[in-house]
Structure 1
């Protein structure tokens, strides 16, 4: 005769299976849901995500269509894989899909999601978004940081040149990460966060935080399994990073407040202010109409630091990788840049508007290698009907920008790296053309597009202007990927950099 514990062991899975079937069929009656792959009890479709979810979801979409309804544990998830479907979500029904799901790791790492990227839709989000768009990342503000971008780019070029008097192996991954760290830290905090001592510690801490934001958390999908994070050590890692980051940012803010008091209001001109100064000024004036606490200041700084460094350096790295895969494109780009910047030691911001092929190269790299291929997830705030399908409130939405940018119905030869496709056409990356949305679109589009593109264009133009680049003799280019919040290159990009002389 079976003991009571054994009875629980044998019948508990059956109970969950029956409960799942009852919940599924009772909720689906009378509704026209999007097509769905078969699910497993408890897991739903989690087992089908694979190592690189954007690729796995693309394969599923080939069979089930551009709008699929999956279940990650108990969480319904709408997967969008075509420009037409993305337009429905991000333009026609943009307001309905303008919220964010409550992700526990983002909540714990970003001050209860008080940042602009992960904050749920509402008055608070509208206020902080307005602060970012009008005060931190406006065209005027980005232009005020031109000198910082140019100085740091010139320092990187000098650093590469000092290591390659004739030609030498250069770790471009380290160079580009250091460049974006230095630019963003100077712009956000008024000082560098790279090199030795405290700067190096902060750069490493920021990298750990960004890595944790990209971790898949089983507790968000299957809440009753959240305890697993304590066993694996994930909770301890998150708590440690959150505490260390809060101490660092708290120290920065406190030191700046003391300095402002000592200066007795004798602040710098607006065009030279960094983000800390701007945010503290907004807080002092209390002009936003809502409670602007210190946690909001630190959360917005984290957004600028994390997104500005990680995704920007990732985009630059993949762009350079594609150029090395396609030497004829690299040569054409070098010819354009060197012709326009002829006789100048460095490319400046004033030169960039004339470099149309440069812009096309970066767009094509973003098309093929969007740093965040599934964008940041959205959530429906009410029931809605999309392309004839019923979508329930609380459904998460994943927009597969990677799949959309490789759709053969939209793009000719989508697997080919061909920058010329962006010459003489009006497709941009600001969210107006839904076949190309590496920065998202609609209310939840990334507000930092202008800043990121300025850094990308200036850095890439100066590297190809100053050096002839090639792979080390006999080595193949490793295109392996590492999954996370952004898709990183698996191995460092090592190049031979030969200084170019006019």
Structure 2
């Protein structure tokens, strides 16, 4: 019991002031990962994460509970299964080939290439096609808008919010403009997702050759055959986390 009390106290402290909890003994690892695993399977609740995930409606930032188990089942069975991932392989191959072709042409013409921008364009194109079923033109307004939203979201996810560690000093985040940036970014992404959802629901929309992830989510929303009563906010939260983590992964 004494060991558990020490672990619990350290977990509370770590959730506020640390990002990593190091377990250096087999005995302590057993206490954390087996005996009291339910107490340690969550994560601290941060302002930016909760806002951009629609108060934890997604898979990554939802607390461990019955809702998380249900949304995890939906994602693993219908969105991230092997066949679904393999179906997007031609998209990945085409976009990578397209990027290399652009770099090659710039090289022949002795033009400089910004690899950071090229990678950002690559990831946004893959995401748009696999998740949203569309490909924005590289120099188009919509593509620039999507990339800017992604960049701002990434910046906010890694920003230091004083209110995360000292809630009574949350007014500082208002003075620094972080709260305003967070709210603005959330509203712009919310409007963007609303537009894409309405486009997918349009009865005059031509049937795509292959279903994208949003098509699958909307079909699940129509069927309503799960314990979770899916709403558009649930769908947008899942889209947000897929967009963010796919971008981070492909850029590493």
Scaled by the length of structure 1, what TM-score is found? 0.45
Question: Paired residue for 1:204, among 148, 151, 154?
Answer: 148
* Alignment equivalent of 1:252, drawn from 192, 196, 206: 196
**Does residue 141 of structure 1 match 2:84?**
yes
User: Is the 2:17–2:165 contact (alpha carbons within 8 Å) kept by the matching residues of 1?
Assistant: no
The alignment partner of 1:170 has SS state of coil
Task: Determine the structure 2 residue equivalent to 1:309.
Answer: 247
Q: Contact 1:135–1:278 at 8 Å: present in 2 too?
A: yes
Aligned to 1:80: 21
Matched, 1:33 2:6: yes
Structure 1 residues 157, 293: CA separation in 2 closer, same or farther (over 3 Å shift)?
Answer: same
The CA deviation string for residues 288-344 of structure 1, in whole angstroms up to 9 with x for no partner, is: 22210100011101111111113321x1xxxxxxxxxxxxxxxxxxxxxxxxxxxxx
Aligned equivalent of 1:179: 122
Counterpart pick for 1:277 among 195, 200, 215:
215
Q: Contact between 1:70 and 1:77, CA under 8 Å: does it hold in 2?
A: no
Cα distance, 1:95 vs. partner?
Answer: 3.4
Would the aligned equivalents of 1:70 and 1:78 in 2 still touch at CA under 8 Å? Answer: no
Structure number with greater Rg is 1
Aligned to 1:128: 71
The Cα of 1:30 is off from its aligned counterpart by 9.7
Is 1:189–1:275's contact at 8 Å kept on the other side of the alignment? yes
Residue pair 2:120, 2:147 contacting (<8 A) in 1 also: no
Helix, strand or coil at the partner of 2:113: strand
In proportion to residue count, which structure has more helix?
Answer: 2
C-alpha deviation, 1:168, in angstroms: 6.3
1:195 pairs with 2:139? yes
Query: Which of the numbers 43, 46, 52 marks the counterpart of 1:103?
Result: 46
Alpha-carbon contact 2:4-2:31 (below 8 Å) kept: no
The structure in which a higher percent of residues are strand is: 1
Spell out the pairing of 1:18-417 with structure 2 (5 A cutoff).
33=6, 71=13, 75=16, 79-81=20-22, 88=30, 91-92=33-34, 93-165=36-108, 169-193=112-136, 194-258=138-202, 261-262=203-204, 267-268=207-208, 272-313=210-251, 315=252
CA distance in 1, matches of 2:25, 2:125: 39
8 Å Cα contact 2:32-2:40 kept in structure 1: yes
Contact 1:149 1:183 survives alignment (8 Å): yes
C-alpha spacing 1:158/1:125, structure 2 compared with 1 (3 Å): same
Distance apart, 1:70 and its partner CA: 8.2
For the aligned residues, what is the CA RMSD?
2.9
Q: Which runs of 5+ in 1 are unaligned?
A: 1-28, 37-67, 316-502
